[in-house]
Amino acid sequence: MKILSRLALAAGMMALASTASYADGLKGKVIGFSQIGSESGWRAAETSVTKMEAEKRGVVLKFADAQQKQENQIKAIRSFIAQGVSAILLAPVVATGWDEVLGEAKDAKIPVVLLDRGVDAPQDLYLTSVASDQVKEGRVAGDWLVKTVGDKPCNVVELQGTVGSTPAINRKKGFEEAIADHKNIKIIRSQTGDFTRSQGKQVMEGFLKAENGGKDICAMFAHNDDMAVGGIQAIKDAGLKPGKDILVVSIDSVPDIFKAMMAGESNASVELTPNMAGPAFDALDAYFSTGKKPEKFIITESKLYTPADDPKAVYEAKKDLGY
Ligand code: GZL
């Protein structure tokens, strides 16, 4: 990675953690945040960056950790409504089952902003959604594999994210689109590891046992880096070399995947910014101060990283962001 782009990367990361001063639009406003849990390094970083972004703006953030349960998120939203908060941030664990409670927030005239995942609900039930293009993330991962294997036969095993979540649905869709015209590449096994390291390891152990000790597996596609890191351990325990015997491609670009790249154990990761809250607070600030409604979907970038991109520098730039 050229020195200039490394400096740009570091500057970008510093901006995440900077204490830039902000207009006082949100100062003193109470905003509820219903967070899914802490299932992955990326989720932990999203939480810490959200708290940093709130502090920069003088927002009083009411934080609720749902421990992966939708009913806890619904309870938290109802509690925020009862407290009369100014706005609600929601990272929805799954896509369905939100119409009623989002309707209650709308009736209470409390704007809701979705973070990092989507909902199957009428769009007038939320002010805006800040998330990546998850189909694109899957496609970028699939395109990388197509370019890497060429015409060679390649059996892929897939570690899916949380069942019913938009990232799991969309990343699978994008990856399958990317490999659709390349009949030499086939997904031979696919199962949820619920975005966690431990379940990713467990599921990959099962795949390796079922596929001739892993000798018939050419690549592992994991919907997030945490499951990939768990899968990498399972591949090593089976006596194979991750990154060589079995290619490893995943999504999030958390610090630990760059450690794996430095060890030659991961081949590619598609970046997901943990800073969804910055654009969310900016949209709320403009909405409260001018009544200006934001775009319905605010899409964050998806950049591919490989070991050619100086993983050590990227690791250093990310390691203090709360992953
Ligand atoms: C994707 C986000 C996913 C991350 C995982 O936008 O919802 O949830 O990719 C996390 O690490 O569990």
Please tell me the CATH superfamily of domain 134-271, with its number: Response regulator (3.40.50.2300)
CATH code 3.40.50.2300 region(s) in the chain: 3-132+273-301, 134-271
DSSP for residue 62: E
The fold of the 3-132+273-301 domain, in CATH, is: Rossmann fold (3.40.50)
Ligand 1 pocket test, pick from 73, 192, 272 with the greatest ligand atom count within 8 Å of Cβ, gives 272
- Protein residue whose Cα sits closest to atom 6 of ligand 1: 116
CA-165 nearest atom, ligand 1: 7
pTM score of the predicted model: 0.93
In whole angstroms, what separates CA 74 from the centre of its chain? Answer: 21
How far away, in angstroms, is 276 Cα from ligand 1 center?
12
84, with CB counted inside 10 A (0-12, 13-18, 19+), is exposed
The pLDDT tens digits along the chain (323 residues) read 455 555 555 555 544 544 444 567 899 999 999 999 999 999 999 999 999 999 999 999 999 999 999 999 999 999 999 999 999 999 999 999 999 999 999 999 999 999 999 999 999 999 999 999 999 999 999 999 999 999 999 999 999 999 999 999 999 999 999 999 999 999 999 999 999 999 999 999 999 999 999 999 999 999 999 999 999 999 999 999 999 999 999 999 999 999 999 999 999 999 999 999 999 999 999 999 999 999 999 999 999 999 999 999 999 999 998 89
